[in-house]
Amino acid sequence: MPEYESFVSLDVWTMLFAWGNIIILFLFLKKFLYKPLMNIIETRQKQIKDMYDEAEKEKSSAKDMHVEYEEKLAKASAQGDEIIKNAVQRAHRQEEIIVKEANETAAKTIKRAEEQVELERKKALNQLKNEVSGMAVDIASAVIKKNLTKEDNTRIVDQFIGQLGEQK
């Protein structure tokens, strides 16, 4: 046989030995490499799954907190609106009370002023009556003293009116 024939030929025992080595290598790698590697991968997958679960819980919690926040904000807004509404109502009631009191005070002041005007008018009328009666008495006494003609009476009345104008 030539030299290269042993290189190309098939030897059953070499083949069995090579297959045996491959099986041993496979079992060795499976025991010491594949199982620990699979354990590491499973552990890592579990950690990732736990992280996703935790993230989902946090997301759900954040949504719940957001909903709660929105509810509290709505309640606070409603309370603020109610406070403003009550304050406006109180202000309107206070305004009505103040306007009513002002109207009552104005009415009393107007009534007092009208009473004062009426008193002053009565005083003026009384004073005018006194002056007219005094003038009538003066005219009558002047007429009685003299038996006068119509021209004399007119002159005496004009003279008397002139004297009244000078007194005032």
Residue-wise pLDDT for 29-44, tens only, equals: 988 888 888 999 999 9
Residues 139 and 158 sit within 8 Å (Cβ to Cβ):
no
Number of domains in the chain: 1
Length of the chain: 168
**Mean per-residue pLDDT, 75-95:** 93
Confidence (pLDDT) at 14: 84
What is the reported pLDDT for 39? 92
46 pLDDT band, cuts 50/70/90, is: very high
Tokens of 103: 């109207």
Range of the domain at 149: 5-167
Q: What is the mean pLDDT of the chain?
A: 85
pLDDT computed for residue 143 by the predictor = 60
User: What's CA 34's distance to the chain center, in Å?
Assistant: 71
Query: Looking at the predicted structure, is the pLDDT value of residue 13 above 90?
Result: no
CA–CA gap between residue 58 and residue 50 (Å, rounded): 12
Among 20, 24, 28, smallest CA distance to 36 is for: 28
Residue with tokens 């996703």: 52
Reply yes or no on whether the pLDDT at 68 is more than 90: yes
Look at residue 2 and tell me whether its pLDDT is greater than 90.
no
pLDDT, greater one: 13 or 117? 117
pLDDT band at 154 (very low <50, low <70, confident <90, very high): confident
Residues 6+ apart with CB under 8 A from 138: 160
Kindly tell me if the per-residue pLDDT of 3 is higher than 70: no
Confidence label for 128 from pLDDT (cuts 50, 70 and 90):
confident
